[in-house]
Structure 1
Amino acid sequence: MATTDRQTSTLALAHALSAAERGLAVIPLSRAKLPALRSPHRDDPTAPPCHGECGRFGHGVYDASTDPRRIRELFAAAPWATGYGIACGLPPHHLIGVDLDTKSGTDSSTALRELALRHLFTIPPTVVVLTPSGGRHLWLTGPPDVAVPNSAGRLAPGIDIRGAGGYLVGPGSRTDHGTYATAPGTAHLAPARCPTALLRLLLPPPRPRASGRTTGAHGQGLVHFVQAAHEGQRNTRLFWAACRAYENGLAPALLPALIEAARTTGLTEREARATIASAARLTGHHT
C-alpha cells in the first residue's frame, strides 16, 4: 500500500475511534462511500439472511461498533478504507440523519424551511456535516422506541433521510469527491432532539382506518379546519389539510369538500387547486 493511502486509512481509523468515544457505532467505508468489507456470503446464493451471526465481518451496518478493539479489527481487515460510516438508529443517540442534497438541482435547504413553517417546527442547533458536493447532513436524535425508516426524496425533493439500518459518512472521511467536514461551530454540539412535528413527517403515514365512520369524522375535521381559516392562514391551512388527506388515503373523496371550504374563506378555486397540487407533490402523489 502506498504511504499516502496508508496515512489516509490511519486517519480514517483515528476519526472513527473519536466518533466511537461519543457513543457512535462505526464501520469502515471505501472511497465510494460503501462499506469497505464485502459480504462473506456473496458467493453463496443459498445462504440464509445473516446480520453477523456467522461471526465474520462484511455485514454493513450490522458490523458497526463502539468498541475500540473491534473497530481496529474492522479497519485492519479493510486497510483500503478511507472513511467511516456512522450507523443510525442505534443507542444511545438513535441517530437520524437529514441529508440536504444539492446534486438534484433542487434547493433542499429552502424545502426544509418551508416544511418547518408549514408544520410549525424549528431545527435546533446540532451537528452539521458538510459534504464534498456542497450538501449538508444534519444530525438529530430520535426516541428509543421509534424506528425511523430510510427514505430518498419522500419528505421533499433533495431531502434524504438516514434512519434505522442506514448510515452517515462521518466527518474526516475521504471519498472520490472530497472530504467530509464538520461545519464550523457545530463540532462541539451533541445531536439535537428531532422536533416532534418533523418526526411525524419522517414516520410512515398511518394506514387508512377500516371504519368508514371514523374516517368520515376525520375528513370532516379537516374540512372544518380549512373553514376556520382567517386571512393570512388560508393557504397554509388548506395545504396542511390536503397533506393529511393524501397521507391518510382520504384525498379522492375529500378534495371537492376541501376546495369548497377554501372558497368560503375567500380563495378562488384556482388558488385552492394550486395549493392542493403542492400538497400532492410534497406527499408523493400526482394530481
Structure 2
Amino acid sequence: MTQHVGARRASLLNAALDAAARGWHVFPLRPGAKRPALHHETQCPHTGACAGGHVKWEQRATTDPERIHAAWATGAFNIGLATGPSGLVVIDLDQPKEKGCSDAPGGAAFFGALCERAGQAVPATYRVRTTGGGHHLYFRAPAGARLRNTAGTLAPLVDTRAWGGYVVAPGSTVHGAPYEVVDDRPVLELPAWLLDILQAPPKPAAAGFRPVAPRDVSQVARVALERETTAVAATGEGGRNAALLRGARAVGRFVAWGDIPRHVAEEAFQEAGEAAGLPPAECRTTIRSALDWSIRTARPREAA
C-alpha cells in the first residue's frame, strides 16, 4: 500500500467513524464511486453475514466502530450513508445534467421557489455540497414517520432519500471531487409543511384528459405537443414535476421557432400538469421556467 493510498484510506475511515458517532449508519461504496462495494444478491456466497440469506446494504449499514474498522481496513472505500436506519431524510438539490444547461435553474432554485410559495424560509440545517454542484440538506425524520425515497415530488430536480435510499457521505470523492460539509450546524427535524407534502396521497390523473391539438401549428409541432402533454398527464406521483419540466423543455424549441404560440403551450402543459395531480401554482412555475430556458437556449431550426 502506497503512502498516498494509506492516507486516503485513513481519511475515509475517520470520516466513516465520525458519521457513525452521529448515529448515522454507514457502509462501503466502491473507491471513487457511488455504488455499494458489497456483493450483489446474484453473487451472494450465503456465508458470514449472509449465512441465513442475502443481506442488502441497508441492513448491513452500521454504527459499530469495530465493523467499520474491519471494512475500511481492506480499501479506500467511499462512504454510503443509509438514510432510513440513520433516522434521516436528505433532500437532494440536483443540477441539470443535459448538455447546454449550465444556466438552467437547478434544484436549489426550484426548492427556494417552493419555500417562497409556502411562505417559509429555506431551512437552515446541516448541508453537504455534492461533486456535481448540488447540495444535500439533512433533516431528522419526525417520530413515527417512515418516509420513502421520492423523485421530483417536492419540485423539479429535488429528490429525497429516506428508507430504501442512501447518500454519499462527506469525506468521499467522486471523479476526484469531494463531498464537502458547507454548513455544520445541527440537523433540523424535517419541517411539518415538507412532511405534509411528502405524506400527501398521490392524486389520480384526471380521467378523460385529451391533449390540445391546435389547428394553426405545423404537423410536427402538434404531434410533439400532444405526445409530451399526454406523457405528463399519465405520470404518477414521484416523477410528475420532472416529467412536466422535460416535456415543456422539449416543446419549447417549437415556441422559440414560432411554430407554437407560447400561450398555447402554457395552457396545454398547465392542463396536463393539473391532470397529473400537480398544484396549479407549481405547474405555472415549472412551465414558465422550462419555456424560458428552451427559448433562451434553442438552436436555429436549420441546426437542430
Q: TM-score, normalised by structure 1?
A: 0.64
Unaligned runs of 5+ in 2: 205-235, 238-264, 288-304
Residue 73 of structure 1, aligned match among 60, 70, 74: 70
Quote the offset at 1:42 in angstroms.
2.4
Partner of 2:170: 171
8 A Cα contact 2:12 2:76, kept in partner = no
Partner of 2:95: 102
Quote the offset at 1:79 in angstroms.
1.2
Asked if 1:63 corresponds to 2:60, the answer is yes
Q: 2:27 is paired with a residue of what secondary structure?
A: strand
Deviation per residue, 1:111-136 (Å, 9 max, x gap) = 11221223344333211101121110
Partner of 1:32: 33
8 A Cα contact 2:202 2:277, kept in partner = no
8 A Cα contact 1:155 1:282, kept in partner = no
8 A Cα contact 1:126 1:192, kept in partner = yes
8 A Cα contact 1:37 1:57, kept in partner = no
Q: CA RMSD in A?
A: 3.6
Distance (whole Å) between structure 1 residues aligned to residue 44 and residue 21 of structure 2: 36
Deviation per residue, 1:186-218 (Å, 9 max, x gap) = 22x22111111111222362577xxxxxxxxxx
Partner of 1:86: 81
The one-letter code matched in structure 2 to 1:110 is A
8 A Cα contact 1:86 1:169, kept in partner = yes
Q: TM-score, normalised by structure 2?
A: 0.61
Unaligned runs of 5+ in 1: 209-245, 248-269
Q: Report the CA distance shift for 1:103/1:207 in structure 2 as closer, same or farther (over 3 A).
A: closer
The one-letter code matched in structure 1 to 2:33 is A
Distance (whole Å) between structure 2 residues aligned to residue 271 and residue 180 of structure 1: 38
Q: Report the CA distance shift for 1:63/1:274 in structure 2 as closer, same or farther (over 3 A).
A: closer
1:148-163 equivalences under 5 Å are: 148-163=147-162
8 A Cα contact 1:57 1:63, kept in partner = no
Deviation per residue, 1:212-270 (Å, 9 max, x gap) = xxxxxxxxxxxxxxxxxxxxxxxxxxxxxxxxxx97xxxxxxxxxxxxxxxxxxxxxx9
Partner of 1:130: 129
Quote the offset at 1:103 in angstroms.
3.4
Q: Report the CA distance shift for 1:84/1:147 in structure 2 as closer, same or farther (over 3 A).
A: same
1:215-226 equivalences under 5 Å are: none
Partner of 2:261: none
8 A Cα contact 1:108 1:159, kept in partner = yes
8 A Cα contact 2:203 2:277, kept in partner = no
8 A Cα contact 1:38 1:58, kept in partner = no
Partner of 1:191: 187
